[in-house]
Structure 1
Amino acid sequence: MSNYTEVDAAADDASGTRSGSGTSGAVSSSGGLRRDVDLLRALASPEARRAGGLGVSRLAEITGREKSQVSRALRALATVGLVARDPENRRYQIGWQLFALTAGSEEMHMLEEARGPMDDLLTQIDESVHLCVLHGTDVMTLVTQFPHGRRAPGLTAPVVPAHRTSAGRVLCSDHTEKQLALRFADVDLASEHRISRVHSMSDLSAEVARIRQQGYATVDEEWEIGLVGASAPVRNGTGHVVAALNVSARKERVADLDALGRTTARAATALSHALGWAARPYGAS
């Protein structure tokens, strides 16, 4: 039985390679795959990393293809999460689905370096520790360290809403107001329950400004009744927020939520330094 899907068809149509059955179809599909791989290689290049992605015109130049073909191919790749498009600058980047499948060197390095700071944080607080990344308007958890014999509350689903969680707000903490507005343009913030501190874009901007000032974010039953959380930003060598360290716990287990935030921030700063960030340690004068 064939495993050919509508997504495969879209990719073949995008590359202009879909044809009939038999050997010619296999050859043309292989050619389409090679052209799509060329796009992914271009998006993984140092140029793309330095520029924060590449646009359709530049990708067409690099791959020697027509812009219309490149645009269709990128839309097909975005459908399955292999690439992602920045809504502000319209550049394409490698998507998190590809990261999840292959774990590129930078992401693998982050996961490897995260073990020590996460273990140290877990030892200090005896609560679940999560390493999270931004995925559209949601937060995706890459890895979790659990206290022995205790199930983790909070960020256990594959994705959770970014605007309602401390991790999500931290991951947006280096966004401009315009970037925030574009990212959450289709999210109905006004419908949030009364406990949430975020009911509008101005509320979200204020939260982001508070995070920048204090170096961490907290939520008190905003995501789930009886649950609190604290998160802090993880930065790469250029200072960009690339992940968040998150701690989620039952409210009765946390006597001082801000103290938990500060402890989490110190661990996130340690991980950031391991990734090449050269700023002074959290809390240093």
Structure 2
Amino acid sequence: MARSIQSLERAAAVLRLLAGGERRLGLTDIASAVGLAKGTTHGLLRTLAKEGLVEQDPTSGRYRLGAELLRLGSGYLDTHELRARALVWTDDLARATRESAYLGVPHGQGVLLLHHVFRPDDSRQVPEVGALHPLHSTALGKALAAWDPAVRAEASKGALEAFTELTVVDPARFGAELERVRARGWASDVGETWDGVASIAAPVLDRGRAAVGAVGISGAVERVLAEGEPRPWLVAAVRDCARSVSRELGAGRF
């Protein structure tokens, strides 16, 4: 087995640190968080800054992620086949449901958003492409975990975090929920991650019938639900979108 390159591992740890939590950190904070000497950390930051991967504020001296990461991330999105295949269908989904539409793929213990279509109204909205959402409390995450054993194992690692009073944190209840999701073909969450927000999602399958992603919508509970349940026409729209993207990937009819 090939040995990893320690300097690259350390640089990756610094980038991950700056990508989460407090986005601007000083040298001492970064060194402490990644467990390295200040001199070693300063050398890493200097090299990352030279490559445009981090930037240092000239006033405070604190570090943040650099603009070069945006270019690299855009390149990843532009070459991602699933995203390319799903663009038209997720745009249509947002237009038909008048809710925000999302495309996500599994990434560690989360769902990485590859595409986000704004709700087609005049409200102020924040782009979420690149955001990492929880696996166990979101409709996208449940749809992925219900069809992929590896994702299910990731979602069940350690204690399940409670984001609201409605988040399912009991492993047995979570497992039963995934069985229901697989049986009916779609997933939902109602206030499990964000208060007052409900979501519906369905898996995207490839030629081998493996779940490679999930599409879904998210909106205010009062718009997404009727009498406490997801509106059937919204569920149908999400499932139709997932089927269409799956057919683009060669899954055939299902």
Name 1:262's counterpart in structure 2. 236
Name 1:9's counterpart in structure 2. none
| Displacement of 1:172 | 1.1
1:189 paired with 2:160, answer yes
| Displacement of 1:134 | 1.4
Name 2:19's counterpart in structure 1. none
Match of 1:209 among 179, 183, 186: 179
TM-score by length of 1: 0.58
Name 1:166's counterpart in structure 2. 139
Provide structure 2 residue ranges, at least 5 long, that are not aligned to the other structure: 14-69
Name 2:122's counterpart in structure 1. 149
| Matched residue type, 1:247 | I
> Are the structure 2 counterparts of residues 258 and 207 from structure 1 closer, same or farther at C-alpha, using a change threshold of 3 Å?
farther
Name 1:253's counterpart in structure 2. 223
Deviations 1:58-86 (A, max 9, x none): xxxxxxxxx3xx132499569739xxxxx
Provide structure 1 residue ranges, at least 5 long, that are not aligned to the other structure: 1-66, 82-96, 281-285
| Matched residue type, 1:80 | A
| Matched residue type, 1:224 | W
Name 2:89's counterpart in structure 1. 117
Q: Of the two, which has the highest radius of gyration?
A: 1
8 Å contact kept, 1:153–1:249: no
| Displacement of 1:222 | 1.1
| Matched residue type, 1:142 | L
Match of 2:3 among 71, 77, 80: 71
8 Å contact kept, 1:152–1:248: no
TM-score by length of 2: 0.65
Name 2:246's counterpart in structure 1. 272
Give me the whole-angstrom Cα distance separating, in 2, the residues matched to 1:242 and 1:78: 30
| Displacement of 1:261 | 2.3
Identity %: 23
Give me the whole-angstrom Cα distance separating, in 1, the residues matched to 2:187 and 2:96: 19
Q: Over the residues paired in the alignment, what is the CA RMSD in angstroms?
A: 3.2
| Displacement of 1:249 | 0.3
| Displacement of 1:201 | 2.0
| Displacement of 1:234 | 0.9
Please give the secondary structure, in 2, of the residue aligned with 1:277: coil
